[in-house]
Amino acid sequence: MARINLSGDRRVAREVPLAAPGRSFKAKAVGGWGAILVLLTTGLGLVSCDSSEVDNSVANPADNSRPRVVATSTLIADWVAQVGGDQVEITGILQPGADPHVYEPVPADSIAFEKADLILYSGYNLEPNLIRLLNAAGVNARRVAVGEVVPPLDLDYAGGVVPDPHVWGDASNAVPMVEVIRDELSVLIPAQKTQFTANTAAYIEDLTQLHSWIEAQTATISPPQRQLVTTHDAFQYYANAYGLTVGGTLIGLSTEEQPSAQTVQQLVDSIRTLGVPTIFAETTINPRLITTVAAEAGVALAPTPLYSDSVGAPGSDGETYLKMMVANTRAIVENLGGTITEPSF
């Protein structure tokens, strides 16, 4: 079984620099184009849920002796649970299905930050509004950008070059992020360092098997069909790690962007040129526009949307990071003509 190579360039997770000044994503102007224009101008937003649809209540922990760890994303919350078990009280700001790019904080989020002993966020401006809240609020807890331990892919965006925040798409990148969480929890609760180390080692074994399994599954796709077209540009790390190419996206790195009619037409033309058999919606984004793109291009829309910026709801096939990655790989491979061997981990 292939092992994950951790000997390459590694960064140290940093406390604060929460975001570079001015690194906020800007929306593009919407143009006009037939039926697409109707979708773009009649309130069919790309985001599937807003803050009013997400339960962000902060429960008072039954055991006040446990340190409070706040995780901005569902992915980080899952990793904290894997490493910390029941030794920490975990508060997840974003709920399953919520979009970190456009999430609007609510008062309970400020309360959670103020009560926290440790705040773990993804970084690379994945969650811009939460980062702004952290900068503005009087937060005393240590703040760590877990995702920034991974050297980023730099992508052209909005007239400049920005780091791609979707680092978890490559399962091998999850290893250093989980190690950061282990180290932070060990500082927070030194008496549990041995347990955190053991939990992390066991989970890294699962991540290693996941990485090898995904490599084997995507290798079954015929090379001409290894083209991934999705709603937003969240799968560059996945594609780079597992032998695919991102053939196009409806919008860029951030779902704050609204596509112009020209962008939509260019994507339709690109899909036709590439001969892509199937394109993919995402769980955190309204599928109506990508459905129209599929119809205009004359290709199938995969029946199962991909998990991009969030794990799935409890009980779903993507309720944890491991399950999310398996579900995404199954959907991608089966819809691009490959074959799946069920994982054993």
Name which of 64, 94, 90 is nearest 79 in CA terms: 90
Distance CA 112, CA 96 (A): 18
What is the average pLDDT score of the chain?
84
Distance CA 91, CA 57 (A): 9
Distance CA 226, CA 247 (A): 9
CATH number of 45-214: 3.40.50.1980
Q: 221-335, superfamily in CATH?
A: Nitrogenase molybdenum iron protein domain (3.40.50.1980)
**Entry pTM:** 0.82
Residue 117, SS3 per DSSP: coil
The mean per-residue pLDDT over the stretch 295-317 comes to: 96
The mean per-residue pLDDT over the stretch 22-27 comes to: 30
308-322 residue pLDDT tens:
999 999 999 999 999
Is pLDDT at 109 greater than 50 in this prediction?
Answer: yes
> What percentage of the chain reaches a pLDDT higher than 70?
79
- pLDDT bin (cut points 50, 70, 90) of residue 12 is low
Per the listing, tokens 């309360």 go with 111
Measured in degrees and rounded to the nearest 5, phi and psi for residue 145 equal -85, 90
- pLDDT bin (cut points 50, 70, 90) of residue 254 is low
DSSP string for 24-74: ---PPPP---HHHHHHHHTT--SBS--GGGS----PPPS-TTSPEEEESSH
Partner residues linked to 91 by β-bridges: 70
116-163 residue pLDDT tens:
999 999 999 999 999 999 988 778 899 999 999 999 999 887 678 999
**In the chain, where the domains are located:** 45-214, 221-335
